[in-house]
Structure 1
Amino acid sequence: MTLALPYICLAAAALVTTLALTPLAKKIAVRLGAVDYPSKRRINTKPTPRLGGLAIFAGLFVACALQIFGTLNWGWPSALIPHPSMEINYPLLGLAFLVVFATGAADDIFQLTPKAKLAGQVIAAVIAATSGLLINVVVNPFASGGEVSLGLLAYPITIVYLVAYTNIINLIDGLDGLACGISAIAACSMFSFAILGGRADAAALSIALVGACLGFLRYNFHPASIFMGDSGSLLLGFALGSISLLNVTRTAALTTLIIPLLVAGVPIIDTFSAIIRRMRAHVSIGQADKGHIHHRLIEEGYDQRQAVILIYLWCILLNLGAAAINQVEVQWRIVIFIALLALSAGFAMRLHLFEPVLRHHYNPKTQQDEIVTPEDPGFADEVEAEREQHEKIRSKLDIRNRKQPRN
């Protein structure tokens, strides 16, 4: 119980802080105009504040401050001790978290361009890599002495990894409580891996993340009174990516690197299928659509709560598989991974995740080009409206042509 007490306190501190500050975050969001209004792509039917990441960030900050205070005054084990193979500059890593949160908050308030938002994420990832959060050597378990030294490539690989992890949570944030719940499940798994591996820094951060997510879920589960916004989704993705790297050493086995991919398997599948879907539709991979997992489940007839719970269960299945992989030999790791991959592929095919969306139109309200699927409730109406508009244009042209004098 003594060993568990610090982690219980960290989770409780993050949970209580996030619970207490989320109503304040709502008021700040409304005052700053950080509000999501209903649209064709959005599920919400009423204006909803979207600066919930402010409360989540505060929860993590208070938990980190409590960890330092507990270490200095209560004899808690220090969480600021990296693995012997790593040298982490924790203040610099904390700065990276601040930068990614600030980037998301700025997007929530000012609607940054995609390039500006990506630049903020890259800067945060560069700072994290500079802090020492790197994997320098990858070991191939199938080759004797098969070590691959990444050298300077460790930096760009780490940066791409963190930016990718940051965005997979952002992309799946489409239903009430979805991204927050998935992050809590992933953080629980990462906490167990950290405890088994003796990684105090990863354990402290992951359990604080669990507390913050559960505290925010009180307001974010359907019907949500506040969204986490990019300030929350980017922060959660970046935190999970950082924890996954803290959980490994500078020299990591190839099969070990599978574990963080399984933990975030559902968001990864959703992101990968979105890329394939948009490529098949011959549109930009950055173009938003309504073909994500949560959209497909809603189209299948599930309500928001049911769809979110089904995705939670899918995540739990993959996380249990990751836990099993962490405890078995290499051969069984591959068997489990292939089995989970096959099951996930079956789910993805059943939901038609790889089928391209077929139509897009300009929305005068949002002043953006939006892609929709034939299953959308308003799809038939849009087709009819477009047909009528084309008929009007054709009639005007015919009248104009008749009025022109013939030579």
Structure 2
Amino acid sequence: MGGFVPDWIPFSSLFAAALLTSLAATPLARRIAVKLGAIDKPTGRRVNKVPVPRMGGIAIFCGIAAAFAVQYVGTMLLGWPVVLVPSPKLRVNYWMLVLAFCVIFGTGLLDDKFSLKPAQKLAGQVFAAVIAVAGGLVIGDISSPLGPEFISLGWMAYPVTVVYLVAYVNIINLIDGLDGLAAGISAIASFTMFVLSVMAGRLDAAALSIAVTGSSLGFLRYNFHPASIFMGDSGSLTLGFALGCSSLLSVTRFAGLTTIIVPLVIAAVPILDTLSAIVRRTRAHVSIGQADRGHIHHRLMDEGFDQRQAVLVMYAWTLMLCLGSVVMTQVGTWPRVGIFCALAAASFLFAHKLHLFEPVLLHHYNPRTGKDELISPADDAFEAEAEKQSEQHWWERDK
């Protein structure tokens, strides 16, 4: 980062600010969630057997905001290098990005409180992505691996970028199914993006990535099993949006077709989980938005892993992919393609072993409601046990 300030001081300060703020704000977020009634109660699809407050995204958002407040003070008063360095190919209005972050966080917050309809939540995600794109965060020209030519997306770059950001938001949202899972995977992915951004000299992407890492780890202190708070959509949407923005801030300067797949490799576990959900729900002839108990973490627990073990397995899987993505950036085009194919093959082999693409939903007549419902085979027994355990709230039992 140059100048008279050692390279490690600004980034370590951002990390510390995000980590400590998230640590301090999580208990407050928990109290706010309880007061507002934002509580996740046990159901046949959830793995928690007692009510747990959500809205942990408040702490995550505060951590990221604190990091950038520190960055601003450091730049203005302490002589830190400016991280908001314009690119010849991309000029971003960072205040528009701030607004986009507020919109995505607000969408998640409203969903945590009011359980928005899918269309309403999607509208908020698209609105945030459109604001970011309007601020200049757009996928640029892409270099072809087959020659010196560039592929110009033209006006299509705008809708493609919106779809990319919305997709990134939702893959983190969908992976949030076990204590500490989404927060840990986000921490691993964001730190990998930080390393790649520093290597590429993209300081804005590096600053955002290290802030996300610190904020995720601070929240993880309370979110790892047994979790005392869930991040909720306010957290998962914010983390997904942050990772998507960070990848674009870095990747758009590379403008390489094979480099664009690096962020996809980093997020391959939640991407594969989302893809398999679409396939098995399509095979079961139900809506792709229909929830089920066929996600990776559900399958791992069906194989006999407990929550901690399942989460650690997915951490290890993500770490392997992230290490592979770092290696990909250090080799030529065709070795990069080879590494990608090897990582993809290993991941799909693991997915096949877990039967991720096989439908798990069954039609079931519920005598209590008189309706035909879609459930997994184990849901009846689970719901009976969950109802018994949730008769008395956790905060009443603690008295």
Helix, strand or coil for the counterpart of 1:355? coil
**What residue identity is the alignment partner of 1:283?**
V
Determine which of 8, 17, 25 is the counterpart of 2:12. Answer: 8
**What residue identity is the alignment partner of 1:17?**
T
Q: Deviations over 1:178-236 (max 9, x none)?
A: 00000000001000011001011001110011000000000000000000000000000
**What residue identity is the alignment partner of 2:174?**
L
Residues 119-198 of structure 1 mapped to structure 2, 5 A cutoff:
119-142=123-146, 144-198=147-201
> 1:25 — aligned with what?
29
> 1:305 — aligned with what?
308
- Contact kept? 1:172, 1:267, Cα under 8 Å: yes
> 2:122 — aligned with what?
118
**Cα distance in structure 2, aligned partners of 1:125 and 1:36:** 28
Q: Taking structure 1 as the reference length, what is the TM-score of the superposition?
A: 0.90
Helix, strand or coil for the counterpart of 2:189? helix
Q: Deviations over 1:14-45 (max 9, x none)?
A: 00001001000001001111110011111111
Determine which of 62, 65, 69 is the counterpart of 1:65. Answer: 69
Q: Taking structure 2 as the reference length, what is the TM-score of the superposition?
A: 0.92
**Cα distance in structure 2, aligned partners of 1:360 and 1:228:** 31
Cα offset, 1:154, TM superposition: 0.6
Q: Deviations over 1:259-305 (max 9, x none)?
A: 00000000000000000010000000010000000000011110000
Determine which of 214, 230, 233 is the counterpart of 1:230. Answer: 233
> 2:353 — aligned with what?
350
> 2:52 — aligned with what?
48
Helix, strand or coil for the counterpart of 1:167? helix
**Cα distance in structure 2, aligned partners of 1:367 and 1:119:** 33
Cα offset, 1:368, TM superposition: 9.8
**Cα distance in structure 1, aligned partners of 2:383 and 2:79:** 66
Cα offset, 1:82, TM superposition: 3.2
**Cα distance in structure 1, aligned partners of 2:70 and 2:370:** 46
**What residue identity is the alignment partner of 1:84?**
P
Cα offset, 1:162, TM superposition: 0.2
- Contact kept? 1:125, 1:159, Cα under 8 Å: yes
> 1:246 — aligned with what?
249
Count of paired positions: 381
Determine which of 87, 96, 103 is the counterpart of 2:100. Answer: 96
Higher-RCO chain (CA-CA 8 Å, sequence separation at least 6): 2
- Contact kept? 2:57, 2:238, Cα under 8 Å: yes
Cα offset, 1:251, TM superposition: 6.3
**What residue identity is the alignment partner of 2:184?**
G
- Percent identity of equivalent pairs: 61
Structure 1 unmatched ranges of 5 or more: 382-407
- Contact kept? 2:292, 2:361, Cα under 8 Å: no
**What residue identity is the alignment partner of 1:296?**
R
**What residue identity is the alignment partner of 2:21?**
T
**Cα distance in structure 2, aligned partners of 1:366 and 1:220:** 34
Q: Deviations over 1:45-71 (max 9, x none)?
A: 111110000010001001001101100
Q: Deviations over 1:342-362 (max 9, x none)?
A: 100110000000001240447
Instruction: Compare CA radii of gyration and give the structure with the larger one.
Output: 1
- Contact kept? 2:300, 2:354, Cα under 8 Å: yes
> 1:329 — aligned with what?
332
**Cα distance in structure 2, aligned partners of 1:252 and 1:125:** 20
- Contact kept? 2:265, 2:325, Cα under 8 Å: yes
Q: Let me know the Cα RMSD of the aligned residues.
A: 2.1
Are residue 262 (structure 1) and residue 265 (structure 2) matched? yes
- Contact kept? 1:373, 1:379, Cα under 8 Å: no
**What residue identity is the alignment partner of 1:4?**
W
Structure 2 unmatched ranges of 5 or more: 385-399
Q: Deviations over 1:62-93 (max 9, x none)?
A: 10011011001111111222333210100001
> 2:213 — aligned with what?
210
Change (3 A) 1:78 1:244: same
